[in-house]
Amino acid sequence: MKFVIPARKPFNFLSVVNSHGWRQLAPFSYDEATNTLHHILLLSNGRVIELKLRDGIYGVNVETEKLNRSEKKEVTDIVTWMFGLDLDFSAFYAASRREPKLARAKKLSLGRLLRAPTVFEDVIKTILTTNTLWAATRNMSRKLVDEFGKPLNSVGRVAPNDSEGRIETKSFPTPESIAASNPDYIKEKIRVGYRAPSIYQLAVRVASGQLDLESLKTSDLSTLELRKELMRINGVGPYAAANLLMILGRHDFIPIDSSALTVVSHEWYKGKPVIAKDVEKRFAKWGEYKGLAFWFWDWKYNG
DNA sequence: GGTAGACCTGGACGC
DNA sequence: GCGTCCAGGTCTACC
């Protein structure tokens, strides 16, 4: 079946898909030839379906298997969250109107970041981005999905190929499926190294109900309190917390990693080494839009 | 509050 | 094929 989920204007499908690297991490895959974002989704009733998401004139076109009414409602809510379809960036566009380095923001409808269906998935993936190279992050995500994900149950499905010919056939693991394992097995099988205890502990806390990550989607905590909450998770430090805040729609902190230091160094310091404080200083004037200004800045240096 | 060092994987490189 | 080096954030111990 096919249906359209409307977006608040302005909206640009490709700007969201390309907002960061999430589209390359299982169980996402992206078909460059048809500009189709695929995601293998586990519904609350246990059914696993494939979503094919494309640009629609007024929002996101969804193609998937036949769904009943409650399944369709669930998919609509999830896709709305993943694409931030209800978000309003007009205040950011107004604030950045006179900044040439952000001139393209409104034109390209920049601001939305692609999200996973669950905060749990976004936190695990963010931990997998820390202290490693992007290729390793992709490998770890893939192995995690292969090992603990639930398989797609459609028959005769033609699997999509992304730019590297990858085929996704399983959903992202539930906290319960990871919690049923153990840190040694995760370390050995998924090759996540020292991250294994953090991943396992997070899964156990969420599966047991001790930690309700999904409530953070609608939390009315201040950004500072939310940041503290995120940093209570093992494996989540300043960078990871800022990254997750951006995903949650809070833009007061900058995810400062080594590449951030590099681009800022080339932008303002002639390539000389800089520290996190220098990055903060350069974007301080953007206040609650600091993260957005940094993320969508038109950098001189692109690596 | 600031800093140093350990943590671990996988790719690049030299032999 | 093997060994070595390096990049990449977080955490802990220490000052």
Segment A188-210 shows an average pLDDT of 93
Segment A152-175 shows an average pLDDT of 65
Pair A40, A167 in one domain: yes
Nucleotides of C under 7 A from a protein CB: 7-11
Token duo for residue A50: 């494939």
Give how far Cα A174 sits from Cα of A45, A67, A142, Å.
Answer: 13, 22, 14
Pair A193, A273 in one domain: no
- Vertex A126 angle, CA A122 and A129, to 5°: 145
Contact of A111 with A92, CB cutoff 8 Å: yes
Please name the amino acid found at residue A195.
R
Pair A176, A77 in one domain: yes
Considering only CA atoms, which residue is closest to the C1' of nucleotide B7? A194
pLDDT higher than threshold 80 for residue A63: yes
Pair A33, A81 in one domain: yes
Among A162, A184, A218, which residue terminates a domain? Answer: A218
Cα separation, A222 vs A189, whole angstroms: 38
Phi, psi of A28 (to 5 degrees): -80, 150
Q: What CATH number has the domain bearing residue A96?
A: 1.10.340.30
Phi, psi of A252 (to 5 degrees): -85, -10
pLDDT tens-digit map of A223-264: 999 999 999 999 999 999 999 999 999 999 999 998 899 899
Could you tell me the pLDDT band of residue A301, with boundaries at 50, 70 and 90? confident
User: Of chain A residues 92-131, which have a beta carbon within 7 Å of strand C?
Assistant: 130-131
Q: CA of A194 and C1' of C14: distance in angstroms?
A: 22
Nucleotides of B under 7 A from a protein CB: 7-11
Enclosing domain of residue A39: 2-218
- Vertex A129 angle, CA A216 and A106, to 5°: 65
Pair A196, A272 in one domain: no
Model pLDDT, residue A156: 38
Cα separation, A298 vs A101, whole angstroms: 5
A218 touches strand C (CB under 7 A): no
Work out the number of other CB atoms within 10 angstroms of the CB of residue A133: 9
Cα separation, A86 vs A80, whole angstroms: 7
Give strand letter and number of the nucleotide nearest A303 (CA to C1').
Answer: C7
Cβ burial, residue A155 (10 Å; 0-12/13-18/19+): exposed
Pair A187, A96 in one domain: yes
Pair A211, A227 in one domain: no
Predicted TM-score (pTM) above 0.85? yes
Cα separation, A145 vs A98, whole angstroms: 44
Could you tell me the pLDDT band of residue A19, with boundaries at 50, 70 and 90? very high
Model pLDDT, residue A170: 95
Pair A207, A92 in one domain: yes
Q: CA of A130 and C1' of C8: distance in angstroms?
A: 7
